[in-house]
């Protein structure tokens, strides 16, 4: 798996992602650079190559002179997500993604979740985007700080959260106005795809539906935008309140 771009590579080096080798534009070879220094400290091989070689290797065409060759992304378990929440001194806060297929949307969602203090993200194994090079780059390094769990069926995650006293709400039209709903409890929010939304079978399985009021003529938001608005409203309500 390739991780491309200055920020993404730096964040990967500072995370638990296993980096096998760093490819660097040879124009940076004789400059003091944080990424190169960190790679040397971690005893990770650094190859200095002509820019045209990196251009040919790149999958995104935006490598900025830095490409990391990493092992495949390691997914976390649901228990890992809960442990991450319990170690944070804040009430558990998770996001479940139902049918998000665009890697740019997934990367943007991961970035927003990291900024909002979400403790973990759950994605389904089938009919959805998985973590790849584009997702990692779009997340601008946030993927290194937010555990992602992949499950066969999202109902499995909802059951797990219910067993651990975590409320699960679907963010979609037809529910309670999000600005009138108290949402500072342990919570998991389900975000669906723009085209199909959250599947009915999953929607009816959750504790309720919360809805963003829309004032324009377009009846939906981009999935990553909707997710960001929802999770930051939850963060606003929490006001960084610590658990008792």
Residue 126 tokens read as: 């089938």
Q: Do domains 2-70 and 78-238 have the same CATH topology?
A: no
DSSP strand pairing (66-70 vs 19-25): antiparallel
Assess whether pLDDT exceeds 80 at residue 156.
yes
pLDDT in tens, 25-81: 998 877 658 888 899 899 999 999 999 999 999 887 888 899 999 887 889 999 999
Task: Quickly state the pLDDT bin for 244 (edges 50, 70, 90).
Answer: very low
Most confident of 15-19, 24-28, 154-158: 154-158
Torsion of CA 184, 185, 190, 194, to 10 degrees: -10
pTM of the model: 0.79
23 DSSP β-pair partners? 47, 67
Assess whether pLDDT exceeds 80 at residue 107.
yes
Q: Which of 150, 154, 155, 80 is nearest to 119 (CA)?
A: 80
Q: Mean pLDDT, the chain, as a whole number?
A: 90
Assess whether pLDDT exceeds 80 at residue 171.
yes
Query: C-alpha angle with apex 185: 179 to 188, nearest 5 degrees?
Result: 85
Each domain of the chain, given as residue ranges in start order, spans 2-70, 78-238
Distance in angstroms (rounded) separating the CA atoms of residues 1 and 72? 6
Contact 227, 193 (CB under 8 A): no
pLDDT of residue 31: 66
DSSP strand pairing (66-70 vs 2-4): antiparallel
pLDDT in tens, 117-146: 999 999 999 889 999 888 888 888 788 889
Q: Which residue has the tokens 């650079």?
A: 33
Distance in angstroms (rounded) separating the CA atoms of residues 191 and 194? 9
Pick the CATH number of 78-238 from 3.30.70.3270, 3.40.1280.10, 3.90.1150.10, 2.60.40.10: 3.40.1280.10
- Coil, helix or strand for 167? strand
Query: C-alpha angle with apex 119: 9 to 177, nearest 5 degrees?
Result: 120
> How many CB atoms lie under 10 A from the CB of residue 232?
14
Residue 244 is classified by DSSP as -
pLDDT in tens, 196-237: 889 988 998 999 999 999 888 877 789 999 999 999 999 999
pLDDT of residue 11: 82
Q: Which of 92, 122, 91 is nearest to 227 (CA)?
A: 122
pLDDT of residue 32: 55
Pick the CATH number of 2-70 from 3.20.110.20, 3.30.1330.30, 3.30.300.30, 3.30.420.40: 3.30.1330.30
């Amino acid at each position: 798996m390739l991780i491309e771009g200055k920020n993404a590579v730096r964040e990967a080096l500072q995370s638990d992602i296993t980096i096998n080798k760093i490819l660097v534009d040879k124009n940076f070879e004789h400059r003091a650079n944080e990424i190169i220094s960190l790679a040397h400290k971690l005893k990770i091989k650094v190859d200095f190559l002509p820019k045209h070689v990196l251009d040919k290797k790149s999958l995104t065409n935006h490598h900025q002179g830095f490409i990391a060759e990493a092992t495949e992304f390691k997914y976390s378990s649901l228990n890992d997500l809960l442990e991450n929440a319990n170690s944070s001194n804040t009430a558990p806060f998770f996001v479940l993604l139902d049918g998000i297929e665009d890697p740019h949307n997934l990367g943007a969602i991961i970035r927003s979740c990291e900024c909002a203090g979400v403790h973990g993200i759950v994605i389904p194994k089938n009919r959805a985007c998985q973590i790849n090079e584009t997702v990692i780059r779009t997340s601008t390094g946030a993927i290194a700080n937010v555990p992602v769990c992949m499950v066969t069926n999202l109902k499995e995650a909802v059951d797990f959260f219910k067993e651990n006293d975590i409320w699960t709400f679907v963010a979609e039209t037809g529910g309670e106005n999000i600005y009138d709903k108290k949402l500072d409890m342990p919570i998991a929010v389900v975000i669906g795809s723009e085209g199909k939304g959250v599947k009915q079978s999953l929607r009816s399985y959750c504790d309720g539906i919360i809805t963003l009021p829309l004032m324009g003529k377009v009846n939906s938001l981009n999935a990553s935008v909707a997710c960001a608005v929802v999770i930051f409203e939850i963060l606003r309500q929490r006001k960084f309140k610590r658990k008792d």
